[in-house]
């Protein structure tokens, strides 16, 4: 029985104690996890190709397997989508998780049974942190801010969906009864109607915990409650749903048994409103105690926008650093994003991030990291990713026992990520180039700015003939392309978290000036690679 299986047999309290015990010796634990991953997958196609059975040291592991990227797995994953087994890992694929690919296409990441168990274990540990600190949460309901469970099945009949929806669908029956809102409402395509339905069900409940990734999601829900308060109270009173005619019959068939008249609750909400000037969460959820969401990275800034709407008695806990590929830490202190590395769920390497342009240094292991330093994360998972570049930058913020407490800082430079959409440079560049073709423009240079401040993407272009372009029409064309080709962007645009893309025309000489700015003695201009994604407009003085 491996470490993952051992921990999963324990009660929540013993599981937490066991995890802390592992944190005392990260070097030993990580070696054991690596050897276990290689052993159980040695008979897969990937395992045979890279001679997993011959690897007995970390040095040999590095010698056999180079650092990899999604391109190294695309063909294998496509075969797995058709139902083929024993390719990247031993056994069958449990499901696929949708996320952004390096080419700009949505990619499907396969999940193994042990990989599913690893994520589930991390979820249990994160839940234990809250339940042990706030046992009163279980006297009320929880509101999970997740996507819909599944989007469909592959050609091989294997289900796929977004990570948050799959996580919600995999929770135990014990926790499902605490859900303040039926999960099926997340399938409503019209975002405003979906928001209304969520609040119509949740405002009837004693919500004590809100759990999701992006705190910005709450702004739209709170606005929906305020703007639709009269209709929501009427629906609660009569057991109805105001927008039922605009919701599919299939969804309504699932919802109708849950719609029961509750005039007492409706009167309670109306009476409270008569005594209060504003319709805030305190009015309909007076016992709300904890909001669990991402507090790090670019999306963490949204917390400051919702705090004025809440009482000082509400605590914030980080939802934890993770991605479609895995869950990597367990934050266990309020208002802190860092948490000990999940040693049991994968094998981790860390490449120090050197802001100088020196050659990339050798990877370090968990026991070799230092507080305050930042690193690029390389993952070997139970689900068929080996020495995989996550394109994530993490920081060490102290230690739990001898295990580093890590926190997510940002994606690496080739990913645009304002609030979770994760758009690649390839996709953003293609959006601009295709739009330019429609306007018969010859481009000298283009780049994009992922603006957290303005919550939108700026596209900067220098054209060959310098004729003035209609930037509004160009912006709309790019925006339409991104909505049609990136699911994450579409969802967040519909929810209002990302605003319409904006095009800026730059005057002649802008590209040359960018190269000149990057030029250093000993480096030819042909060796300089200009980034495509910036966090600010480069040489803004060149804008027409």
Q: With left for phi above 0 and alpha for psi between -120 and 50, is residue 326 left, alpha or beta?
A: left
DSSP letter string, 372-398: T-EEEEEEEETTS--SEEEEEEEEEEE
**What domains does the chain contain, in order, with CATH numbers?**
3-114+320-411 (no CATH), 135-288 (no CATH), 415-542 (3.30.300)
pLDDT at 358: 43
DSSP letter string, 411-454: E-TTEE-SSS--EEHHHHHHHHHHHHHHTT--EEEEEEEEETTT
pLDDT tens for residues 373-413? 989 999 999 999 999 999 888 999 999 999 999 999 877 76
Collect all residues with Cβ–Cβ distance below 8 Å to 522 and sequence separation of at least 6. Answer: none
pLDDT at 260: 95
pLDDT at 413: 62
Instruction: Write out the chain's pLDDT in tens, 544 residues.
Output: 899 999 999 999 999 999 999 999 999 999 999 999 999 999 999 999 999 999 999 999 999 999 999 999 999 999 999 999 999 999 999 999 988 544 446 789 999 999 999 999 999 999 999 999 999 999 999 999 877 666 689 999 999 988 777 776 666 677 778 999 998 898 888 889 999 999 999 999 999 999 987 787 888 899 999 999 999 999 999 999 999 999 999 999 999 999 999 999 999 999 999 998 789 999 999 999 999 998 886 667 678 778 888 888 899 999 999 989 999 999 999 888 999 999 999 999 999 985 433 456 789 999 999 999 989 999 999 999 999 999 888 999 999 999 999 999 877 766 788 887 878 777 898 899 999 999 999 888 999 999 988 899 999 999 988 888 999 999 999 999 999 998 889 989 998 889 999 999 999 999 889 878 875 543 444 445 678 898 889 999 999 9
Collect all residues with Cβ–Cβ distance below 8 Å to 223 and sequence separation of at least 6. Answer: none
Place of tokens 């240094």: 361
pLDDT at 102: 44
pLDDT at 525: 45
Angstrom distance (rounded) from CA 458 to CA 451: 7
Angstrom distance (rounded) from CA 441 to CA 467: 9
Angstrom distance (rounded) from CA 202 to CA 369: 44
pLDDT at 523: 43
Place of tokens 């300089």: 528
> Which is it for the CA torsion 406, 407, 413, 414, positive or negative?
positive
pLDDT at 380: 98
Give bridge partners of residue 403 from the DSSP assignment: 400
Its pTM stands at 0.79
Angstrom distance (rounded) from CA 15 to CA 21: 10
Query: For 454-470, b where at least 16 C-beta lie within 10 A, e where not — what string?
Result: ebbbbbbbbbeeeeebe
Distance, first Cα to last Cα, the chain: 66
3-state secondary structure 111-168: ECHHHHHHHHHHHHHHHHHHHHHCHHHHHCEEEEECCCCCCEECCCCCEEECHHHHHH
Collect all residues with Cβ–Cβ distance below 8 Å to 189 and sequence separation of at least 6. Answer: none
CA distances to 57, 58, 59, 66, 89 from 62, rounded to whole Å, are 9, 6, 5, 6, 18
């Amino acid at each position: 029985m491996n470490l993952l299986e051992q921990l999963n047999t324990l009660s929540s309290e013993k599981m937490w104690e066991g995890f802390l015990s592992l944190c005392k010796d990260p070097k030993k634990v990580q070696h054991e996890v690596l050897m276990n991953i290689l052993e159980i997958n040695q008979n897969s196609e990937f395992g045979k190709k890279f001679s997993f059975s011959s690897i007995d040291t970390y040095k040999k592991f590095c010698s056999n397997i180079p650092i990899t990227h999604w391109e190294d797995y695309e063909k294998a994953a496509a075969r797995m989508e058709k139902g083929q087994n024993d390719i990247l890992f031993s056994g069958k694929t449990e499901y696929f998780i949708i996320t952004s690919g390096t080419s700009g296409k949505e990619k499907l990441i396969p999940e193994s049974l042990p990989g599913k168990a690893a994520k589930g274990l991390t979820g249990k540990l994160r839940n234990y942190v809250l339940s042990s600190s706030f046992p009163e949460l279980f006297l009320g309901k929880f509101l999970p801010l997740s996507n819909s469970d599944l989007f469909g099945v592959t050609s091989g009949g294997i289900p796929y969906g977004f990570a948050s929806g799959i996580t919600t669908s995999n929770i135990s029956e014990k926790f499902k009864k605490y859900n303040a809102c039926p999960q099926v409402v997340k399938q409503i395509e019209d975002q405003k109607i979906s928001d209304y339905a969520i609040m119509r069900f949740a405002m009837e409940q004693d919500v004590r915990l809100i759990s999701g990734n992006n705190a910005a999601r709450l702004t739209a829900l709170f606005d929906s409650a305020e703007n639709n308060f009269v209709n929501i109270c009427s629906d609660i009173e009569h057991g109805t749903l105001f927008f039922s005619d605009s919701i599919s019959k299939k969804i309504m068939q699932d919802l109708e048994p849950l719609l029961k008249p509750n005039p007492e609750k409706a009167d309670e909400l109306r009476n409270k409103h008569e005594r209060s000037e504003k319709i805030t969460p305190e009015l309909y959820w007076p016992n709300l105690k904890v909001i669990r969401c991402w507090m790090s990275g670019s999306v963490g800034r949204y917390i400051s926008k919702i705090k004025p709407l809440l009482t000082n008695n509400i605590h914030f806990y980080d939802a934890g650093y993770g991605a479609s590929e895995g869950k990597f830490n367990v934050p266990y202190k309020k208002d802190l994003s860092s948490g000990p590395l999940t040693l049991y769920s994968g094998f981790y390497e860390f490449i120090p991030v050197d802001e100088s342009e020196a050659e990339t240094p050798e990877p370090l292991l968990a026991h070799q990291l230092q507080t305050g330093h930042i690193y690029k994360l390389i993952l070997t998972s139970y689900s068929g990713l080996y020495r995989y570049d996550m394109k994530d930058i993490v920081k060490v913020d102290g230690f739990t026992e001898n295990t580093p407490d890590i926190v997510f800082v940002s994606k690496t430079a080739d990913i645009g990520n304002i609030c979770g959409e994760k758009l690649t440079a390839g996709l953003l560049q293609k959006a601009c180039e295709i739009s330019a073709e429609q306007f018969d423009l010859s481009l000298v240079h283009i780049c994009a700015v992922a603006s957290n401040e303005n919550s939108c993407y700026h596209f900067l272009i220098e054209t060959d003939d310098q004729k003035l372009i209609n930037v509004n029409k160009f912006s709309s064309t790019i925006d339409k392309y991104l909505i049609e080709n990136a699911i994450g962007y579409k969802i967040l645009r519909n929810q209002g978290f990302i605003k319409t893309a904006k095009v800026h025309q730059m005057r002649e000489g802008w590209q040359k000036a960018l190269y000149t700015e990057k030029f250093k003695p000993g480096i030819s201009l042909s060796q300089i690679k200009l980034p495509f994604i910036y966090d600010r407009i480069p040489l803004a003085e060149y804008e027409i």
